[in-house]
């Protein structure tokens, strides 16, 4: 039925077939891995941009809070009737416009 030379040929054929299957599956999974690596890289970049944006917004928020504090300090003497304060509503002429 089998001749002696057919056994090594069959073993080589099975080995080659296995090599081809392994090669194809490596290429398919390598493409998927590359796509996943690319997606991961893009997500990390997006995260980095958002973190920098949050830091920038926090810096702007701190500046605005300092401005509010500064304006409140500047406005505090005016509420006491200090220089630059507006006259009380009962003393003001209803037809007069307040000065800016």
d(CA 3, CA 78): 113
Flag whether 93 is in a domain: no
Specify the higher pLDDT residue, 25 or 80: 25
Please work out, in degrees rounded to the nearest 5, the angle formed at the alpha carbon of residue 18 by the alpha carbons of 17 and 20: 65
pLDDT per residue over 15-59, tens digit each? 999 999 999 999 989 988 999 999 999 999 999 999 999 999 999
Question: CA 13 → CA 6, 22, 56, 62, distances in Å?
Answer: 10, 14, 64, 73
Higher-pLDDT residue of 17, 78: 17
Mean of per-residue pLDDT scores for the chain: 84
Average pLDDT of span 73-100: 59
Give how many domains the chain has, as a whole number. 1
Consecutive H or E run containing 55:
helix 6-79
Asked if residue 75 is part of any domain, the answer here is no
Residue where the block lists tokens 């040929």:
9
- Whether this prediction's pTM lies above 0.75 is answered by no
By residue range, what is the domain housing residue 18?
1-68
């Amino acid at each position: 039925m089998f001749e002696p030379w057919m056994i090594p040929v069959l073993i080589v054929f099975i080995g080659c077939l296995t090599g081809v299957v392994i090669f194809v599956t490596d290429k398919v999974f390598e493409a998927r891995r590359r796509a996943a690596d690319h997606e991961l890289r893009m997500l990390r970049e997006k995260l980095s941009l958002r973190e920098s944006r949050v830091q920038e917004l926090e810096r702007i928020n701190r500046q605005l809070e300092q401005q509010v504090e500064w304006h409140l300090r500047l406005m505090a003497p005016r509420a006491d009737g200090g220089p630059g304060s507006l006259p009380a509503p009962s003393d003001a002429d209803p037809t007069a416009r307040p000065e800016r």
